[in-house]
Amino acid sequence: AYLSDNTYNSGSYTGFNSIMLDKSVDNLTQTIGGVQYNKGVGTHANSEISYNLNNIPGGPWTNFVATIGRDDEVDGCGTNLNIEFSVYADNVLIGGPYVKGVSDAGQQINLNIAGKSTLKLVVNQGSDGNITCDHADWAMARVTKGGARSGAEHEETSKKELDKQVFAENNETDE
């Protein structure tokens, strides 16, 4: 189930503009490292977006899966900028912080959320001290059943493997 097809909790916020569903924070197609994504949540540092997993139809859910990164729409902002992505389940950090810079390829994460009732996606300003261009994408963000890897919180995927996964994900209709 894609998070963008579900309602986030009240109290969720983004540091600029609005939380965007299936678009970047500037209302464009989400693009990370030159790869476009048709589903996801677009935001800006500093942000916190939370979901009640029990309210997402089809559960119980075991995994949170997404491709994270800075949106390419800010490539003209400079080269030393970065942002931090973190994921919490029941207010406990389960992934990150993942630091993503300008023009970095998307990083796929696959986190175990079995038995959890809340999921919180956090983006913070990075160590560069500049929040101006901190546009963040949680591309293809979804909850799934099965596929939990014991002890493995995330995986980094080679560019070729990521491109294959993105192609398949962009051609899915739903989980």
DSSP the chain: -BGGGSPPPTT-B-SSS--EESS-TTSS-EEETTEEESSEEEEESSEEEEEEGGGSTT----EEEEEEEE-GGGGGG-SS-EEEEEEEETTEEEEEEEEEETTPPPEEEEEE-TT--EEEEEEEE-TTS--TT-EEEEEEEEEESS---TT-------HHHHHHHHHHHHT----
Going by pLDDT thresholds of 50, 70 and 90, the confidence category of residue 131 is: confident
- Rounded to two decimals, the pTM is 0.82
Model pLDDT, residue 158: 37
If you average pLDDT over residues 50-75, what whole number do you get?
Answer: 94
> Which pLDDT tens digit goes with each residue over 96-118?
999 898 778 999 999 999 999 99
Mean pLDDT over residues 86-93, rounded? 98
What's the whole-number mean pLDDT along residues 149-165?
41
